[in-house]
Structure 1
Amino acid sequence: MVVMGVSGSGKTTVASLLADRLGVPLAEADEFHPRANIDKMTSGVPLTDADREPWLAAIAGWIADRAADGGGVVTCSALKGRYRDTLRAAAPDVWFLHLDGSPDLLAERIGHRSGHFMPPSLLASQLADLEPLTPEERGIRLDVAHTPGELVEAALAALRGGTRP
């Protein structure tokens, strides 16, 4: 499962709860970024598609390993359909949980967190790049106005039912 969405959507919180409930490994996409990407984002510069290629390849490798070993949950912004195509190529049955919310709520959340390299100034570029899941993609979109527990329950129900957006 890929827990996707822009910065501030709660990917890490929800993914951690889901991994615990499913009894599978968890990976945080930020851990796959090369130092140059982190430095770039820290300075307020959005990543390019070329910057993202090695990062997505590393996440896809993790997904492929987990698919062969019982599954896992990974966070990844997965903003564009072609990024999700890269992840799906590693495991065709990958399921996406898109955590979505209003720009105001997302900005408020980003403004209240500390210790993260992603500055609030990059939210607008992420929202501009975001391509929602298509009907052909396995997964669901959930509104982050709900509590993490409610999001987990809804995701698990959709996963069991094979729900598509």
Structure 2
Amino acid sequence: MTKPAIGRDVHLCVMGVSGVGKSTVGAELARRLGRSFGDADDLHPRSNVVEMAAGTPLTDTERGPWLDAVAAWLDEQSETVGGVVFACSALKRRYRDRLAESDAPVFFLHLTADTDELRRRMTERKGHFMHVNMLESQLADLEPIESDERGLQILTGGSVTETVERVLASIRPE
């Protein structure tokens, strides 16, 4: 299989369910590629964060303005710094389709992990609004990358460095 070419203008979306390591892997990947990093969680309206912190999954309607904000942020980044690495759950195909409408191409890196490992990670992390009881709803919503989407799946495990190495071995940065 030919490695996909990822030009400097392409945004890399590190996606997946909560606890898979999107932010940690994304930040290290950005550092290694010499790109800016952003976390889509930072663009959630306060009302969404409050709901999720209370253990209530967001509806597609509640996610809409957030996805619009993420897409607008991507467009701003395209104009000022080029392609960025960003962490975003992007669980459903329609969410990814919305992000892919940005001014620059988006390539999705779907991080995966065993459900027990995800629960362990979520239980051990501190200071995050997403609680372990939300994992099941995220897994239920998850629509894996389809063959006609620009993206690929990467298994996490081991160290962050090992996961980033797997990502870098699977793409061709340009």
TM-score range, shorter chain: over 0.9
Instruction: Tell me the residue number matched to 2:7.
Output: none
Which one of 100, 115, 118 corresponds to residue 103 of structure 1? Answer: 115
Instruction: Report which structure shows greater RCO (CA 8 Å, sep ≥6).
Output: 2
Q: Secondary structure at the match of 1:90?
A: coil
1:11 has 2:22 as partner: yes
Which one of 137, 160, 169 corresponds to residue 157 of structure 1? Answer: 169
1:76-115 to 2 correspondence within 5 Å? Answer: 76-91=88-103, 93-115=105-127
* Partner deviation per Cα, 1:39-91 (whole Å, 9 max, x = no partner): 00011100000111111111111222223432101100000000000000014
Instruction: Tell me the residue number matched to 2:35.
Output: 24
> Which amino acid is 2:88 matched to?
C
Between Structure 1 and Structure 2, which shows a larger proportion of helix residues? 1
Q: TM-score, normalised by structure 2?
A: 0.88
Gaps of 5+ in 1: none
Between Structure 1 and Structure 2, which shows a larger proportion of strand residues? 2
> Which amino acid is 2:49 matched to?
I
In 2, are the aligned partners of 1:6 and 1:127 still within 8 Å (CA)? yes
Give how far 1:118 is off: 0.5
> Which amino acid is 1:31 matched to?
D
Q: Secondary structure at the match of 2:110?
A: strand
Q: Secondary structure at the match of 1:95?
A: strand
State the Cα RMSD in Å.
1.5
Query: Matched residues in 1 for 2:29 and 2:173: separation?
Result: 16
Gaps of 5+ in 2: 1-11
Give how far 1:161 is off: 7.3
1:6-85 to 2 correspondence within 5 Å? Answer: 6-68=17-79, 69-85=81-97
Counting matched residue pairs gives 162
Quote the sequence identity (%).
Answer: 48
